[in-house]
């Protein structure tokens, strides 16, 4: 199923979450009368998870810890995300990798997320000037646990230089890179990096794009709804 994911990052408050859930739910209820082929997943900051009322969409956490419970001040267990209503968790986002998260840690977090029954979205992507294959193959090799399967893991290809910049790879590059990742992992592959209403239709029509991970443009529910509408 094509996944349309909204990553709010460190944004939002209870009023924002309430309005977002109401508008998104109403829109999806109307759309689902004719079509039910998309899985919409919203990733709010963890404190907003219990407040985000899911109507026709799912929700997830933006990160989790690699241990179940214990003396780990400030960390969040995937079991706690699950209790707060999450069905998914994003792992290894480039903003976390930039803050020092290693691929080995991402794999340990993913293995713990599986135990909690969460589906993981494992992010990979090269920085500007880096070689796609060298960086992404290494990230895939070390970040995706042996126990990963289509049932519990989705990969998100997000070139770091495309995140929040308004710049995207060419459609031909997206097609080729997503195909390479799918071939290596045998997993569903999302694209992320400057997806907006104007380019969502074209990017989502690429055969090897099995979903979109959207940051900035998901922060306005209206722009997120236009993205959903522009995907056929």
Residues annotated as part of the active site: 93, 158
User: Tokens 């895939």 sit at which residue?
Assistant: 140
User: By CB under 6 A, which span of 98-106, 125-133, 140-148, 193-201 interacts with ligand PGA?
Assistant: 193-201
Structure-block tokens of residue 133: 């294959």
Among the listed residues 140, 174, 215, 224, the single contact to ligand PGA using CB under 6 A: 215
The Cα 29–Cα 56 span in angstroms is 7
Cβ(90)–Cβ(77) below 8 Å: no
User: By CB under 6 A, is residue 201 in contact with ligand PGA?
Assistant: no
User: By CB under 6 A, is residue 194 in contact with ligand PGA?
Assistant: yes
User: Where on the phi/psi map is residue 91: left (φ > 0), alpha (ψ -120 to 50), or beta?
Assistant: beta
Q: What are phi and psi of 165, to 5 degrees?
A: -105, -15
Minimum Å distance from CB 93 to ligand PGA? 6
User: By CB under 6 A, is residue 126 in contact with ligand PGA?
Assistant: no
Q: How long a stretch of residues is the chain?
A: 232
Minimum Å distance from CB 212 to ligand PGA? 9
User: By CB under 6 A, is residue 89 in contact with ligand PGA?
Assistant: no
Among the listed residues 216, 221, 227, 228, the single contact to ligand PGA using CB under 6 A: 216
User: By CB under 6 A, which span of 57-65, 113-121, 211-219, 223-231 interacts with ligand PGA?
Assistant: 211-219
User: By CB under 6 A, is residue 212 in contact with ligand PGA?
Assistant: no
Cβ(63)–Cβ(89) below 8 Å: yes
* Residue among 52 and 79 whose Cβ is closer to ligand PGA: 52
The Cα 195–Cα 204 span in angstroms is 10
User: By CB under 6 A, is residue 168 in contact with ligand PGA?
Assistant: no
Virtual CA dihedral for 219, 221, 223, 225, nearest 10 degrees?
140
User: By CB under 6 A, is residue 195 in contact with ligand PGA?
Assistant: yes
Q: Residue 189: which of 162, 207, 201, 202 has the closest Cα?
A: 207
Which residues contact ligand PGA (rule: CB under 6 A)? 7, 158, 163-164, 192-195, 213-217
């Amino acid at each position: 199923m094509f996944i349309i994911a909204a990553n709010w990052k460190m944004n939002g408050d209870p009023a924002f979450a309430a309005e977002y859930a109401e508008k998104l739910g109403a829109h999806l209820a109307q759309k689902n009368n004719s079509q039910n082929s998309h899985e919409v997943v919203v990733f709010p900051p963890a404190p907003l998870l219990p407040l985000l009322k899911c109507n026709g969409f799912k929700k997830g956490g933006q990160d989790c810890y690699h241990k179940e419970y214990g003396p780990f001040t400030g960390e969040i267990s995937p079991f706690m995300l699950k209790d707060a209503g999450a069905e998914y968790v994003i792992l290894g986002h480039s903003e976390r990798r930039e803050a020092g998260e290693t691929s080995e840690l991402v794999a340990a977090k993913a293995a713990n997320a599986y135990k909690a029954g969460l589906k993981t979205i494992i992010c990979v992507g090269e920085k500007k000037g880096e070689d796609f294959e060298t960086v992404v193959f290494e990230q895939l090799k070390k970040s995706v646990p042996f126990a990963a399967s289509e049932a519990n893991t989705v990969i998100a290809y997000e070139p770091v230089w495309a995140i929040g910049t308004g710049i995207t790879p060419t459609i031909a590059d997206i097609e080729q890179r997503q195909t390479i990742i799918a071939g290596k992992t045998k997993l569903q592959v999302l694209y992320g990096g400057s997806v907006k209403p104007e380019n969502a239709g074209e990017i989502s029509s690429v055969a090897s794009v099995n979903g979109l991970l959207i940051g900035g443009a998901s922060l306005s529910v209206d722009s997120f709804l236009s993205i959903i509408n522009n995907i056929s």
